[in-house]
């Protein structure tokens, strides 16, 4: 019995793909309109009803969904099913001071499991592998999804844990990990730790490194591959909602195949918001096609991608994208965790009890590490004649920010004029 | 094999289907489940050409069926087993079956039709036993078998079944669905609409849920059977059972 429609849709012929996407898009619109006031209002504001979506191109008549909407409809406002049907509620640091909540039905979890499993399969992961997941706490939901997907392939899984990297490399060596899922930043750190601990890559069973969370340059990948004797694969995912492995590399390592059976892809010029032609770059905009609990219609990812030519030697008919390092929005990405500068400012203000007049937020590199750097301009409110008190404030601010975002944080006090006024 | 896009159809001024899309691949059994009045029968009638769609496309084996009259649709390979069977009660079982091959008999395929009659009687021995009886004297289950058998007489590539389980005892429902699986194994593709979601999804490969003229769910039949929404709305589980015990 043909089951291509809902089983593995990686190889669907283009005409069938379009029909399947249209059917699913219409269902998503019907459900969002019926069950989510936010989406219904937006349809109505655009003088549209779901039946006006008669082609894939018609999706462009609908307004975008942005990260800020998650906060505005916190916590359950964007759920499209009754709470009773939700079996997992996931929280991620949101933007603008709130949390990003997403829910999953049992079917959603099954869908993610299958999607992650096939992305891992494309990287050659099988029952013969021991797969270790080393991710930042901010990407804990990916940790769960990767665990589920790898278990579906019957690989042995070492799930996300709270061990320090220095212990992770012991696990890596002693448990004979063959597949490691981590961010490019952590991969570099692990590599440095291995060398500084005098662990020869030949002692490791590691052969596959799956890089997630942030784009990795070819140069970085080549260096890691040579030094660790591994092959690297990239996966692209959404960190707040709803999961990892939305796009993944095949054995050709030439761009990432997007799961078009589960997502409708648009790549738009960030200024004109028109689709860009093949070979050009633009913002990736995704519409979920199969998600039940937390549908996304035209979600602006802020990620910049380049559209690659159709057709891949691997035979998958899923469109390929190159994931580019620069973003379309001004979020900072540290170890795959997306950080909104405004939210940093809000948190700093909460900690200090007042909004500093001079504050700027940067991404800095400390060796192989990326960290969040907050520069505070000296001002009267901050001033204390006791150095100790100042130090305490700096430490407290850094602590609170680390708590909030789960990434390394540096807070520096500077003379007023040298700090740009980034926050009004 | 069958592709439907943005189908809108209705009766008088009442629109029953508000832009429905679906597809059936060769060799599949696809079930459309939904409550009474969801538009399921309208959908099948529009595909079979019994009503003219207001808008949208229906493609069968890549050819548009727009403007195609029902006899030509039957000739193209689509058979319909309508709800309520629509047999000719005073006529014998045999004559009802011959009517199913009407187009072919007119083309002079007499010998082939005779062979098909034998095949149908093999499939439904009870019909062979009762071939001389008036169709109206058969039991509900036998009448449903006769309706399917009659549709088979046109040698369809695809059968559209409208509520095949209506009015049948559970044991007979099982028998009818077993027959569907058997015919599917012999190469016939099925699109069936059913209120009895459990029975339909149990034999289907894929399913769609139609709600007040709109598609609201799709997926592998097995996934739909496990779906909380489907369970609640179509598998007879009490809604309160779900609402209780959690924050409302």
What was the ipTM of the complex prediction?
0.90
Least confident of A91-95, A138-142, A272-276, B161-165: A91-95
d(CA A241, CA A296): 9
pLDDT of A342 over the 60 cut: yes
C-alpha A418, offset from chain centre: 34
pLDDT of residue B238: 46
pLDDT band at A358, cuts 50/70/90? confident
Least confident of A27-36, A152-161, A249-258, A357-366: A357-366
Q: Of all helices (H) and strands (E), which one includes residue A228?
A: helix A218-228
Interface test with A, best of B5, B31, B233 (most A CBs within 10 A): B5
Identify the residue with better confidence: B178 or A240. Answer: B178
Calculate what percentage of chain A has a pLDDT beyond 70: 95
Please state the pTM of the whole predicted model: 0.88
- The answer to whether B92 contacts chain A (CB < 8 Å) is no
Query: Which whole number is the average pLDDT over A78-102?
Result: 85
- The answer to whether B5 contacts chain A (CB < 8 Å) is yes
* Per-residue pLDDT reduced to its tens digit, B133-142: 999 999 888 9
Residues of A in contact with B205 (CB under 8 A): 1-3
pLDDT band at A205, cuts 50/70/90? very high
Judged by CB atoms closer than 8 Å, whether chains meet at A51 and B214 is answered as yes
pLDDT of A2 over the 60 cut: no
User: A66: how many CB neighbours lie within 10 A of its CB?
Assistant: 16
pLDDT of A423 over the 50 cut: no
pLDDT of residue A390: 83
Identify the residue with better confidence: A248 or A91. Answer: A248
Buried-exposed string A41-62: b where 16+ CB fall within 10 A, e elsewhere: ebbeeeebebbebbebebbeeb
pLDDT of residue B20: 97
- Taking CA atoms, what residue in A is nearest to B203? A1
Q: Which of A2, A84, A292 sits opposite B242 (nearest CB)?
A: A84
- The answer to whether A295 contacts chain B (CB < 8 Å) is no
Exposed/middle/buried for A351, CB within 10 Å: 0-12, 13-18, 19+? middle
Interface test with B, best of A9, A85, A289 (most B CBs within 10 A): A85
Question: Which neighbouring-strand residues pair with A379?
Answer: none
Query: Which whole number is the average pLDDT over A156-160?
Result: 95
pLDDT of residue A162: 86
pLDDT of residue A329: 84
d(CA A1, CA A419): 66
Across chain B, what does the average pLDDT equal?
A: 90
Exposed/middle/buried for B95, CB within 10 Å: 0-12, 13-18, 19+? middle
Query: Which whole number is the average pLDDT over A288-302?
Result: 95
Interface test with A, best of B4, B10, B19 (most A CBs within 10 A): B19
- The answer to whether A21 contacts chain B (CB < 8 Å) is no
* Per-residue pLDDT reduced to its tens digit, A103-112: 999 999 999 9
Judged by CB atoms closer than 8 Å, whether chains meet at A27 and B215 is answered as yes
Rg of chain B over Cα atoms, rounded to whole angstroms, equals: 18
pLDDT of B95 over the 80 cut: yes
Least confident of A351-360, B106-115, B231-240: B231-240
pLDDT band at B202, cuts 50/70/90? very high
pLDDT of residue A124: 96
Number of C-alpha atoms within 13 angstroms, CB side, residue A364?
A: 13
Query: Which whole number is the average pLDDT over A307-331?
Result: 91
Number of C-alpha atoms within 13 angstroms, CB side, residue B67?
A: 0
d(CA A61, CA A15): 22
CA distance B25 to chain A (A): 7
Identify the residue with better confidence: B59 or B241. Answer: B59
- The answer to whether B54 contacts chain A (CB < 8 Å) is no
Query: Which whole number is the average pLDDT over A117-139?
Result: 94
Among A355-359, A374-378, A382-386, B4-8, the range of highest mean pLDDT: B4-8
pLDDT of B242 over the 80 cut: no
Tokens of B123: 């499939």
pLDDT of residue A4: 39
- Please, are residues A177 and A145 in contact by the beta-carbon 8 Å criterion? no
Across chain A, what does the average pLDDT equal?
A: 90
pLDDT of residue A261: 95
* Per-residue pLDDT reduced to its tens digit, B27-50: 999 999 998 889 999 999 999 999
d(CA A311, CA A318): 8
pLDDT of residue A123: 97
Cα separations in angstroms, B28 against A274, A309, B44, B148: 39, 33, 16, 17
Residues of B in contact with A82 (CB under 8 A): 242-243
Judged by CB atoms closer than 8 Å, whether chains meet at A2 and B226 is answered as no
């Amino acid at each position: 019995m043909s089951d291509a429609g809902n089983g593995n849709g990686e190889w669907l012929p283009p005409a069938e793909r379009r029909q399947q996407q249209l059917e699913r898009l219409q269902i998503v619109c019907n459900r969002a309109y019926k069950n989510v006031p936010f989406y219904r209002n937006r349809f109505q504001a655009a003088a549209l009803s779901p039946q006006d979506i008669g082609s894939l191109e018609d999706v462009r008549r609908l307004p975008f969904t942005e990260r800020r909407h998650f906060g505005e409809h916190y916590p359950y406002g964007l759920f499209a099913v009754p709470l009773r049907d939700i079996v997992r509620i996931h929280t991620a640091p949101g933007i603008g001071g709130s949390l990003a909540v997403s829910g999953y039905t049992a079917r959603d979890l099954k869908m993610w499991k299958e999607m992650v499993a096939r992305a891992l399969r494309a990287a050659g992961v099988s029952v013969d592998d021991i797969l270790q997941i080393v991710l930042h706490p901010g990407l804990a939901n990916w940790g769960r999804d990767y665990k589920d997907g790898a278990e579906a392939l019957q690989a042995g899984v070492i799930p996300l844990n709270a061990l320090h990297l220095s212990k992770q490399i012991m696990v890596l060596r002693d448990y004979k990990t063959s597949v490691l899922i981590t961010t490019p930043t952590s991969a570099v750190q692990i590599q440095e730790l291995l060398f500084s601990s005098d662990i020869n890559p030949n002692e490791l069973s590691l052969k596959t490194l799956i890089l997630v969370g942030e784009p990795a340059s070819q140069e970085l990948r080549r260096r890691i591959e040579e030094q660790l004797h591994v092959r690297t694969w990239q996966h692209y995912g959404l960190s707040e909602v709803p999961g990892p492995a939305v796009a993944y590399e095949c054995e050709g390592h030439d761009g990432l195949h997007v799961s078009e059976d589960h997502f409708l892809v648009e790549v738009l010029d960030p200024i004109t918001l028109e689709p860009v032609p093949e070979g050009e770059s633009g913002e990736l905009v995704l519409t979920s096609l199969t998600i039940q609990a937390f549908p996304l219609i035209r979600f602006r990812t802020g990620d910049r991608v380049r559209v690659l030519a159709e057709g891949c030697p691997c035979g998958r008919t899923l469109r390929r994208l190159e994931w580019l390092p620069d973003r379309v929005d001004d979020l900072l990405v540290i170890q795959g965790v997306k950080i909104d500068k405004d939210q940093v400012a809000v948190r700093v203000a909460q900690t200090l009890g007042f909004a500093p007049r001079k504050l700027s937020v940067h991404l800095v590199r400390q060796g192989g590490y990326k960290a969040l750097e907050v520069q505070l301009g000296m001002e009267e409110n901050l001033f204390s004649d006791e150095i100790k008190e100042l130090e305490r404030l700096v430490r407290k601010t850094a602590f609170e920010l680390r708590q909030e975002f789960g990434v390394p944080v540096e807070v520096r006090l500077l003379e007023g004029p040298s700090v740009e006024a980034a926050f009004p | 094999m069958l592709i439907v896009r943005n189908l809108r159809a209705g009766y008088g001024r009442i629109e029953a289907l508000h832009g429905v899309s679906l597809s059936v691949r060769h060799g599949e059994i696809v079930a459309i489940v939904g409550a009474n009045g969801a538009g399921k029968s309208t959908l099948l009638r529009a595909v079979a050409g019994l009503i003219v769609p207001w808008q949208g496309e229906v493609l069968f084996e890549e050819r548009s069926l727009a403007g195609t009259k029902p006899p030509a649709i039957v000739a193209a390979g689509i058979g319909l087993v309508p709800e309520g069977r629509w047999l000719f009660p005073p006529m014998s079982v045999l004559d009802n079956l011959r009517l199913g091959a009407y187009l072919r008999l007119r083309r002079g395929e007499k010998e082939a039709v005779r062979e098909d009659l034998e095949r149908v009687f093999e499939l439904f021995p009870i019909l062979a036993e009762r071939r001389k009886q008036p169709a109206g004297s058969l039991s509900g289950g036998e009448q449903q078998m006769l309706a399917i058998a009659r549709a088979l007489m046109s040698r369809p590539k695809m059968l559209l079944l409208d509520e095949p389980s209506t009015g049948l005892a559970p044991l007979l429902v099982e028998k009818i669905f077993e027959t569907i699986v058997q015919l599917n194994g012999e190469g016939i593709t099925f699109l069936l609409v059913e209120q009895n979601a459990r029975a339909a999804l149990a034999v289907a490969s894929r399913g769609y849920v139609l709600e007040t003229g709109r598609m609201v769910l799709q997926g592998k039949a097995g996934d739909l059977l496990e779906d909380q929404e489907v369970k609640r709305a179509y598998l007879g589980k009490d809604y309160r059972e779900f609402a209780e015990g959690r924050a409302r």
